[in-house]
Amino acid sequence: MNTRSIARACTVMESRGAASAALLRELFPQSGRAHVVGITGPPGAGKSTLVAAMVEELRRRGQRVAVIAVDPSSPFTGGAILGDRIRMLQFHDDPDVFIRSMATRGAMGGLAPATHDVALVLDAAGFDTILLETVGVGQDEVDVARLAHTTVVVLAPGMGDDVQAIKAGILEIADLFVINKADQDGAARLQREMSEWDVPICLTVATRAEGVAPVVDAVAGLKGKADPVRHWVHRLRQMYAEHALARLDSGVVEEAARRVAGRECDPYTIIEGWLRV
């Protein structure tokens, strides 16, 4: 597959139509070789810079690398965040680096399935490592990160108490912590704080590519520890919910919503009826 046909296949996956299911079925037997690595953490931790530095390091090791950047901003105000990705342009002429930006969708469970299907395309296309960068925090990011084989949580010192909540939400899915901006005040304190959890920690200054090779080593070491069965349990449940919802006729849902809103019928009776079909 050349870059153009890979990009086309990714677009098919994002469309979530019948064509995507057919293409996935065709590509599935060729997948299963890539290491899908989620890179997540709060805004401002330096994820994009770290991802760019990791791509450079992986290329130095002869790997083919793909990046899926999941962007929570709408098309209206996405400029600032897209700007972060400009540094990725350095890989523009390298056919062994493929970069794809994905926007979040409003529809329930819409992002994680599309992201996973794009990763499967890139896996089948022969990329060795697929870096899945998610911006921000929340259930959506957790869902996306769950679909990765290995999850790296990037933090930086001096982000205040707000980081508490963020850390809490992603602690349970972290396989590796990276404390980026490790040359800044508070890095040692953050490291002490994070060492309470039974997760390895790497220190980086991604803007200068410092500490990035050890991150790539640690990630490679985690590949063998990933549990593909657990991964597919999540994925199958998610696919099932997505496909079940896709079968609901929107007119039927609208009419049912009208009756429930008018208290003509309770929602539980309606759901039971749908599940009996």
Answer yes or no whether residue 186 interacts with a second copy by CB under 8 A: no
Question: CA nearest 129: which of 46, 207, 39, 15?
Answer: 39
**Alpha carbon distance 168, 164 (integer Å):** 6
When asked if residue 160 is in the footprint of a second copy (CB under 8 A), the reply is yes
Question: Which one of 58-66, 92-100, 162-170, 202-210 is the stretch in contact with a second copy (CB under 8 A)?
Answer: 162-170
Judged by CB under 8 A, the stretch of 6-14, 59-67, 180-188, 259-267 that binds a second copy is 259-267
Residue 94 or residue 193: which is nearer to a second copy going by CB? Answer: 193
Does position 192 bind a second copy by CB under 8 A? Answer: no
Spatial distance between the Cα atoms of 62 and 240, rounded to a whole number of angstroms: 37
Find all residues with CB under 8 Å of 82, minimum gap 6, and list them.
71, 101
Q: Is 199 in the site for a second copy (CB under 8 A)?
A: no
User: Quick one: 15 or 139, whose CB is closer to a second copy?
Assistant: 139
The verdict on 225 binding a second copy (CB under 8 A) reads no
**CB-wise, 61 or 257, nearer to a second copy?**
257
Taking contact as CB under 8 A, which single stretch among the options 4-12, 48-56, 160-168, 215-223 is the one that binds a second copy?
160-168
Q: What residues contact 13, with CB distance under 8 A and at least 6 apart?
A: 20, 23, 24, 114, 117, 118, 120, 121
Distance CA 45, CA 159 (A): 8
**Binding segment for a second copy among 9-17, 56-64, 100-108, 205-213 (CB under 8 A)?**
100-108
Please give the Cα distance from 266 to 171 (Å, whole number): 39
Instruction: Give yes or no for residue 39 binding a second copy (CB under 8 A).
Output: no
By the rule CB under 8 A, 166 interacts with a second copy = yes
How near is the Cβ of 226 to a second copy at its closest, in Å? 10
Q: Can you read off the two tokens belonging to residue 79?
A: 């400029």
Taking CB under 8 A as the binding criterion, the range among 179-187, 204-212, 214-222, 241-249 that sits at the site for a second copy is 241-249
Q: What are the angstrom distances between the C-alpha of 149 and each of 57, 85, 219, 229?
A: 20, 24, 10, 10
Query: By the 8 A CB rule, do 134 and 102 touch?
Result: no
Which member of 62, 192, 247, 249 binds a second copy (CB under 8 A)? 247
Q: Which of 76, 92, 185, 224 binds a second copy (CB under 8 A)?
A: 76
CA dist 64 and 34 (Å) reads 10
Burial, 137: exposed, middle or buried (Cβ in 10 Å; 0-12, 13-18, 19+)?
Answer: buried
Number of residues that bind a second copy (CB under 8 A): 76
Asked if 8 is part of the footprint of a second copy (rule: CB under 8 A), the reply reads: no
Least Å distance between CB 137 and a second copy?
A: 6
Query: What minimum distance in Å lies between the beta carbon of 217 and a second copy?
Result: 25
Is residue 86 at the binding interface for a second copy, with CB under 8 A as the rule? Answer: no
Task: Tell me the DSSP string of 108-131.
Answer: TT-HHHHHHHHHHHHHHTT-SEEE
